Homo-oligomer: A and B are copies of this chain.
Amino acid sequence: MSAGKTRNEIIKAADQLIYLNGYEHTSFATIANVVKISRGNFYYHFKTKDQILNAVIEQRKTNTRSMIRQWEQQHTKPAERIKCYIKIILQNWPKIKQHGCPVGTLCNEMTKLSHPSQKQARGIFTIFRKWLRDQFRLLGHEEQADQLAMHVLSWSQGVATMASTFKAQQFAENEVDQMCRWLDELTTGKSI
């Protein structure tokens, strides 16, 4: 395996383990076990668990940007694009039911641990936040754009926490419907 490929394998394994079990629960050794490489080879790429975490966060940011680009290609109307974000929870329901929202749970854990990577982690939310803000601006809500973006992020986060805690798919579906209706009401009468 080439050095670049090994590095990517480590990041991929760490990303999964951190999502499934949390950062604190994921040890250097567990990641190395999954990737099946020697300790020496592992240390060549990453010296500390925090370094791996930062690489995982960077990878998640790249994936987030690429997901957003897809939504933009699929939909020209801002409201339809925002609905792509709103519906992620249902599309990823089997995973969210078991492990929560990957961004929200990571940020919660970083906050809890007062971890130095707290800012980097919330940077994933910031990508969504800025993009949602742009969509609300396109919808004519210039002044409230950031507040509306945060409202959507926050609404989704709450649904992810409560739906995964109570394993309540129906609740998640109801809330997603409600969010879409709220968005439709917000856009009604506005020129897009």
Interface mask (A151-191 → B, CB under 8 Å = 1, otherwise 0): 10111111101111110100100110010000000000000
Q: Which residues of B contact A174 (CB under 8 A)?
A: 147
* Bound Cα distance A174, B149 (Å): 13
How would you classify the secondary structure of chain A's contact residues: helix, strand, loop or mixed? Answer: helix
Most-contacted residue by chain B among A113, A147, A150 (CB, 10 A) = A150
A105-B108, A107-B165 are known contacts. Are A25 and B113 too (CB-CB below 8 A)? Answer: yes
A112 touches B (CB below 8 Å): yes
Q: Is A111 an interface residue (CB 8 A)?
A: yes
CA distance in complex: A155, B100 (Å): 16
A20 to B114: give the CA distance in the assembly, Å.
9
> Told that A105-B112, A150-B162, A150-B168 touch, could you supply 15 new A-B pairs with CB distance under 8 A?
A21-B112, A22-B24, A24-B25, A98-B114, A99-B112, A108-B108, A108-B165, A147-B171, A147-B174, A150-B166, A153-B158, A154-B162, A154-B171, A158-B159, A161-B161
The 7 listed contacts between A and B (C-beta, < 8 Å) are: A20-B112, A22-B112, A107-B165, A125-B166, A150-B166, A153-B162, A158-B161
